[in-house]
Each structure stands twice: as structure tokens, then as C-alpha cells.
Chains A and B, each alone.
Chain A
Amino acid sequence: MKETSSILQSIAQCIERGKVNRASPYPPDLRDRDGADELVRRAIDLGIDPQEILTDGLMTGMKVVGEEFRAKRIFVPEVLMAAKAMTAGMEHLRPFFASSQATHRGVMILGTVLGDLHDIGKRLVGMMVEGAGWEVIDLGTDVAPEDFVAAVERRPESVVGLSALLTTTMMNMKETVARLKEAHPETKIIIGGAPVTVAFAHEIGADAYAPDPPGAVDFLNSTVAEI
């Protein structure tokens, strides 16, 4: 029990600090130590429940990352490293998701709207949402409204996240929201991006606006609570 608690705590710390694996030179003070990669593998080998590894190890670490990011104590680069560590750990858990021994909290379909090639903000949202235990289907950038609709048809239980960085492309959110709501009125839609505001979200009929990635996580978790 003590060993389980200790290794899960170490996994969480690896996510917080962005320690991917033993070979990674970052962060310098953890050089030559095991990272999320090795520790998750070891936790599985010790027989720890994969759901517990996800919830009490990886997700716990990513929750701290989200809080630190929101408080502006860490920045995008640290989140990228945390996400890389998270991905390294998640690789070991994928077979358990496939066999339903571990489950996601829900599904998010994510994409940058038509005409907009910006990726990093949307990817940060995806990383933190995944770190909160959600399955993320990232449609990429420059995604046409019909591609969002098609993706929801494949996974109707999804929440949809739309990103735009430019004032010239944020208006494409409006059409995407309209097309989605027409085809799937029950689908929840959250929008975000530099020029986007809560007023704009209301104006175009989106269900929510998130000013930052943790805000998207909060919204998603609230939809689960509603269910």
C-alpha cells in the first residue's frame, strides 16, 4: 500500500516537472532519474490498477500543472513538457483503455476552425483535457464545419471544442456552431482563442467559453457532473 502510494506520487511529480523518462535531460535536477515512462511501467508491473495509475498518478500531476498555468506560475513550455511526460505514461495504459480496464471521463472532439492554421493553443487544451482523463479526438487545424459534424456523427457522446486565433477566422466558429447545432442539437460546444470572448460565445450559440485550457477542463467536468 505504501509502495503504491509512493509510486503514484512519483508519477504525479514527473508530470508536474515534465520528467519524461530516464534519458531526458530535463529537468536538470532530475537528470538520470526515472521518468513517467519507467514509473508507469513499474506501477503496472506491481499490479496497481490502471485506473488508479491514471487518476491518482497522471491526472493528479496534470491537475497541478493546470493550476500552476492558470496562476501564471508556469508557462506554455512547461505545459508542453508535462504533456510529453503524460503521453509517455499514457502509452503504457492504452491497452487497458482498449480492454475497458480503464475508462475515460468522456470524449472531446477538438479542432481549429476553417481558415485558421494555429495549433499550439488548441494542442494545449487537448493535452490538459487528456490529462484530466478525457479521450481527445484532435481534428487538427483548418477544419471545415462538415468535418466537425462528421466527427460527432462517429462519436455522438462527444463534447466539441473550437479554437480560433484570428479575428478573421473566429467568424467561422459561428457557421461551425450553427451546423453542429442543426445536426446535433444536444452536443455541447465550447469555444476559445485569443480574440474570443464569453459574449461572442453567447452571440453565436456556443454553450461555453474558456479563457484558458483549465477552463475547458472545468467545463468538460461540469458536463459529466450534469450527466
Chain B
Amino acid sequence: MTSKQRFLTALSREQPDRLPVTTHHVMPSFLDQHFPGMTNDDFFDHFGFDPILWLNEQRPDENAGEYFDPDHAPGYLEPRRVVSDRWRIESEELAGLRYATTRYNIITPCKTLTMVLQSDEHTSWVTERLVKEKSDIDIIAEFATKPLCDVEEVNRRCAEWGDRGLVRGFVPGFDVYGQPGCWQDAAVLYGIEELIMATFEDPEWVHAFLEILMRRKSAFIASMKDAQYDIIELGGGDASTTVISPQIFRDFVAPYYARLIELAHEAGQRVVYHTCGGMMPILEDIADMGPDAMETFTPPEMGGDADLAEAKRRIGERVCMIGGFDQVHFFTGCDPERTRQAVRRCFAEAGEGGGYILAPSDHFFDADPELLSAFADEARKCVY
């Protein structure tokens, strides 16, 4: 089988020739540190992983007066930003702080919304939330742009890449700093603790906020028809049971994602639901939303709660499982045999009958190249 066939077979919950093995993102900071100049494709080939191509091509709806932001230089995995005369985004660097710090001003006819981001060599984080007053969501509802999928560009890139592996995309997050899921975006924009408290104290407002975010994502998903993605990502760690309760998941997360997944299926797209954090108490709730695959199955040793064997038993007949490997303890600081044992353990627990893709539980920040090789090599020996 080719890598692509292997992935697609597993996604169909069938048995490929051997265990597919890949990773989530290959972090630029990792490549810069260990393999300067190496591309993602080089990385996959070098270590013998089944390759993934991440694409996130979006375009403006010109009929709605939207256009690409001429001042925006997209960062890692960031699509070109879509703005309008009623939703302009300006940025300014703030000097003298410990981390690279940027203030973003989103200028609308009614109000300027502001957000501050900081970054280090690994990642970025929000230090000033965009939604500071509850009425700010009305500004978003009225003026935010609604980017569409650039199907032509996606398909051009797919054709160029060929059948090397899995083409993966995601539902775009909110402008400046967002993530695929509605709840996840809301947590980023308002603050997770504040959002949790609002579910208790003002649930109607939280639903109104999530509806606004969902409308934007729905417009994008509806435009994905005929785009040749193999799978698109939804979800995020703030909807894990490390952070929220199963009840909040059922009331404020699942209804929105179930609608988005249905819409994605109507557009001919498969969906992987991404949970970095606790998921065992909500495994069936996630599967009930109808995704084609679920990830990341983070083990307890990494702060999650995944029991791969139990998860396979509970939802393995309904979704493809991706992840479950402990990259903290078996990509660094151990001998290759322990890495190989960890691979075999994952295969034994989740591999039976297919429907399983071996991957670290989310991306990894650091890894010993020798252990990456052992990881992929051992997985390739896990034949059906």
C-alpha cells in the first residue's frame, strides 16, 4: 500500500497492510534546532513516517466586499488573512517585554477590538483577550469577515503533492489567534476560566457567542465541497475533561460540533475531532457527534487520561483512532528499545482489526532523532 492508501484504509476503520505511523505537526522550532533547512516532506522521508500535507487555503468572498489583507504575512499553518473595510486589522510591536509582543487592533465602524499576543521560539499565547465586554460579540457578529475555502488552490496543491500521504486541513480559527472549534475559539477570545463561569452564570450569552462563531465556520465548511482534503480537523484541548465537565461538553460543545460535522459530511469531507487532554469520560459523546476519527488519546503520564485499550473497546467500532503515543517519555530521555516497546504497546492496545493510526499525542516540541527513527521503524514492523 502507499501511505495514502494506508491512511485512508485506517480512516475507514479497516485493516491496512501495516500500522500507519505519522505525527501531528512537525514544529518549525524542532526542525530549526535539529535539522535546519529540512522541510516537512524531508522530515517524513528521513525518518520513514507516513507523510501528511497540511493545507489551509482560504479566499475572500469578493461579493461581500472582502479581500486579502495586503499587510499580512502568514505564520506557520496560518492562512492568508481576509479583511474588509469594516473589519481591518492593524498590528503594532510592543517593545521592552520579555517576549515578542504584538498588539492587534481590529477596526470596525462601531468599535476597535484589541488583542495582545506573545510568542517564543515554540508557540504563541494571548495576554489580552479580544472579547472584553459581552457586547463585543455583537461587533463580531456584524462585522467579522467570513473566509471561504480556496478549493482551486487546495486541489492544485494536492495534485502537486500527489499520493504521497494524507492531506489534512482544519476549520480556520478566529482572526489573529484562533483554533478550529467554536468552544476553543471562544475560550481563546474570552478566556477559558471566564467562559466556564459564564456557562453557569449567563448560559444564554455563551450560546449566542458560540452561534456567532459557528456561523463563520459553517460558511467556510460549506465552501469546502470538492476540495480534495483527506480529513479536516475540529476541536481543541479546552473542550477536554481536563478543563471542562462532561455536562458542559454536552451542553455547550457537542451541539455545535455535531452540526459542523454534519455540514462537513455534506461537503464531502471527513472530520477528525481533536482533544488534547482528558477524553475518557466523554468518549461516546465525541463519537456521537459523528466524526470519522478521533485524536489525541493523551496518556496519563502526559497529563491526559487515555486508556487506549479501553477506548478501542468503547469507540473503536465507530471511529478511527489517531495518537496515543507518549512523546514526552519515549521521544526523549530513553533508549530506543523502550520507544519500540511503547510502539508495540500502542499497536497491541488499539491496532487490532485496523482503524488506528499511530502518532504522538499531539505535536512534539523536542525529540531525539534516534528515537524518532526507532518509533517509525518499529511501527513499520507492526504488520497485519
Contacts and interface: CB of A to CB of B under 8 A. Distances in A.
B245 interface: yes
A139 interface: no
Given A76-B243, A76-B245, A77-B248, A168 B328 contact: no
Contacts of B242: 76, 194
Interface string A62-86: 0000000000101111101100100
A178 interface: no
A117 B125 contact: yes
Contact of B120 (A80, A115, A119, A194): A115
Contacts of B243: 76, 120
B122 A76 contact: no
B269 interface: no
Q: Is the interface of B mostly helix, strand, loop or mixed?
A: mixed
A212 to B, nearest CB: 11
A195 B245 contact: no
B365 A80 contact: no
A115 B98 CA distance: 9
Given A26-B201, A80-B197, A165-B303, A75 B246 contact: yes
B200 A81 contact: yes
Given A25-B201, A167-B366, A168-B122, A77 B303 contact: no
A77 B199 contact: yes
A25 B206 CA distance: 15
A207 interface: no
Contact of A193 (B199, B201, B303): B303
A168 B302 contact: no
A28 to B, nearest CB: 9
A24 interface: yes
Contact of B245 (A77, A142, A167): A77
B192 interface: yes
A168 B30 CA distance: 11
A48 interface: no
Contacts of A165: 303
A216 to B, nearest CB: 16
Interface string B173-211: 000000000000000000011001101110000000000
Contacts of B122: 166, 168
Nearest to A197: B301
A206 B139 CA distance: 49
Interface residues of A, number: 27
Q: Is the interface of A mostly helix, strand, loop or mixed?
A: loop
A77 B244 contact: yes
Interface in A154-168: 165-168
A80 B196 contact: yes
B215 to A, nearest CB: 26
Q: Which of A77, A78, A81 is most buried by chain B, counting CB atoms within 10 A of its CB?
A: A77
Contacts of B303: 165, 193-195
B145 interface: no
A18 B243 CA distance: 17
A23 B196 CA distance: 18
B21 to A, nearest CB: 21
Nearest to B203: A25
B281 interface: yes
A137 to B, nearest CB: 20
A24 B201 CA distance: 7
A25 B199 CA distance: 11
Contacts of B304: 194
A80 B246 CA distance: 15
A74 B245 CA distance: 7
Interface in B308-337: 328, 332
A167 B365 contact: yes
Contacts of A115: 120
A77 B196 contact: yes
A81 B201 CA distance: 10
Contacts of A117: 118, 125, 127
Given A25-B200, A75-B241, A194-B303, A120 B192 contact: yes
Contacts of A80: 193, 196-197
6 contacts: A75-B245, A77-B244, A77-B245, A167-B366, A194-B304, A195-B328
> Which 6 A-B residue pairings sit nearest by Cβ, starting from the closest?
A194-B303, A75-B245, A26-B200, A77-B196, A117-B125, A168-B365
Given A119-B193, A165-B303, 14 more contacts: A18-B200, A75-B244, A75-B245, A76-B243, A77-B196, A81-B200, A117-B118, A117-B125, A120-B193, A166-B122, A167-B365, A194-B302, A195-B303, A195-B328
